[in-house]
A and B are shown apart, each in its own frame.
Chain A
């Protein structure tokens, strides 16, 4: 795909995509987990690699674990995310009972790819930064910061998330759990 031309249609598309990402983040922060699930495509890929400390020059090859191979923090599908939501909604998933307070900040939104065209976008690849703040029970606080690359698919007036890659800027995970959704 070629980089899209930055005309009014491009800016309108970017605004539309940004609005979608903010709305989606709000669903999670409002704990509307089932509604959030509805935004996921049936063939969703949800992937968070584990980051490694590697020698200069080996980053492309070795820094991140790879989707479809070995062990990552997340390398899963919509069914598994559905299970995560179902688990929270049992009310006895103690790692999220009582529920955490979470805010998703999304910024640095950029359209990376648009297909087939800006005027008739059926699929877009969107890059952004995330800052996810979690506070639970009394004093437990985690801040997850990183880059995200999402593939969104046109769904009527809205979008479905077809792929989400979350590149967390940590090596040893500094939180005891990744019990929240990204």
Chain B
């Protein structure tokens, strides 16, 4: 059990959370030991390793891992570290190989992780080293959902769909084709960058912090959206103007901000200066409505799948992973998504919009990075750390929605964050999976 006074620092009933969890090295260490070793983490996308022997080097928490498709087509995730002296066995970002050869002493591993080559084996190791026991370290849990690859280091972790729970209804809106066919996305590019901030600021931002809208005033004023050249202000098309915004959280810690559209909702013109793209999305919109029925009424904005995989659902569209380097530094990776079979002109307009919106060169997200940096920096001081953050927004205003699974709010709320940190606390206390999945939560909700 942990010695950190977690319940005192994460006081959900009062709606306060200590700054220590954002800046203290002890919390960083505990997160790596107790959270990132257990939770399901996003590793990559099948479109990055379409062929046998393809690999893509990714990260889980603060560690490098290799996502790899073996010679039989099976997908694996390995720790990128030689079993002999720990050297990275792969320092290329992606490629195709039949062997991972360690540069240090030349131990080599096949694409299914098995130790194959040990120089001078007969002379130096025969009788002592059993190669079968020295494969690359592999995640005991790996699942592929609609092209996305997820892994956990905990052999006792529940299957990914159980972990995801009802948040799947929203993740589907990110991963499914725009016309409602299941899956079908591809990664068209990746951003990797370092931000000097605690990783949870980023996760929380996507979890449903709609309240931070004023920090994006500059892009809303000037207009950078898909129809900006046609004179529209704002940073996106106004696709959802007739819908009910909802903020939904789930017992396993996930939180989303989506929109519940009225039954008779119609296509809103978008991508207005590109008639072909507008027509394409109109077509997809109508197909999707037909295909999904009532489920089509869910339109996604953002979300965060516990602990560190965030998404943008439509404009832009992609998955973001926040990898902690230290309490005050994060390595961010963003995977941009399009429908693999979308017309070339559509993909081109989308990638251009993604680039001007997202990441360190993105006009919208630059302001997020500024916030996260200085929120972290201004919380490291001795005096600052005595004063907790306020999480009291819309306390008690959440209701279990009758129109949508999960704990639903129809007003801007920090309930998603309160729920997230409640689950976070359970990981740090070393709780069992029943608790981590929120299976005792009926009591909690009644008590609130």
Contact = CB atoms under 8 A, between A and B. Distances in A.
A175 interface: yes
Contact of B356 (A80, A92, A94): A80
Given A50-B191, A71-B336, A83-B363, A76 B352 contact: yes
Contacts of B195: 176
B367 A95 contact: yes
A87 interface: yes
B191 A176 contact: no
Contact of A79 (B217, B221, B229, B366): B229
Contacts of B197: 176
Interface in A34-83: 48, 50, 52-55, 58, 65, 68, 70-76, 79-80, 83
Contact of A70 (B188, B221, B228, B363): B188
A179 B331 CA distance: 18
A173 B191 CA distance: 8
Nearest to B377: A139
B437 to A, nearest CB: 34
A23 interface: no
Contacts of B193: 172-176
Q: Most chain-B CB neighbours within 10 Å: which of A48, A52, A95, A178?
A: A95
Given A83-B363, A176-B193, A179-B366, A71 B219 contact: no
Contacts of A68: 348
Interface in B86-126: 91-95
Given A53-B92, A76-B355, A92 B366 contact: no
B331 A172 contact: yes
A43 to B, nearest CB: 15
A177 B355 contact: no
Determine chain A's interface SS by DSSP, over half rule: loop
Contacts of A48: 361
Contact of A92 (B217, B224, B352): B217
Contact of B92 (A54, A76, A92, A94): A54
29 contacts: A50-B189, A58-B95, A65-B189, A68-B348, A71-B191, A73-B355, A73-B360, A74-B355, A75-B352, A80-B352, A87-B218, A87-B219, A87-B222, A90-B217, A90-B218, A92-B217, A93-B363, A94-B218, A94-B367, A95-B369, A96-B366, A137-B374, A140-B196, A173-B193, A175-B194, A176-B196, A176-B370, A177-B360, A179-B366
Given A87-B363, A93-B366, 19 more contacts: A48-B361, A50-B189, A53-B93, A54-B92, A58-B95, A70-B188, A71-B189, A73-B360, A74-B361, A83-B224, A87-B219, A87-B222, A90-B218, A93-B363, A93-B367, A94-B218, A94-B367, A174-B194, A175-B193
Interface of A: 48, 50, 52-55, 58, 65, 68, 70-76, 79-80, 83-84, 86-87, 90, 92-96, 137, 140, 171-179
